[in-house]
Amino acid sequence: MEETTAEELRVLAIQAGMGDLPQQHLEELRLAWEHVRAMAARIPKDRPRGDEPAHVFVPTTFAREG
């Protein structure tokens, strides 16, 4: 996993509507961003987009019988 540069992070913050953050806040965002990237890396990527849980849930599977 490549490290995000300070400039890339600054651009991401601006695109997210946070504005042009001061250096102190960018450093805090960088620390948090590393955790977010690690969590995102654990998300399985071998499933088709249509397999999103809301699309594949079949309520009748859980219906009570009798």
Q: State the DSSP string of 15-37.
A: HTT--S--HHHHHHHHHHHHHHH
CA dihedral (17, 32, 42, 55) positive or negative? negative
Q: 29 exposed, middle or buried (CB, 10 Å; 0-12, 13-18, 19+)?
A: buried
Phi-psi region at 22: left, alpha or beta (left = phi > 0; alpha = psi -120 to 50) = beta
pTM of the model: 0.57
Q: What is the structure's pLDDT at 23?
A: 92
pLDDT in tens, the chain (66 residues): 678 888 999 999 999 999 999 999 999 999 999 999 999 999 888 878 777 777 777 778 787 776
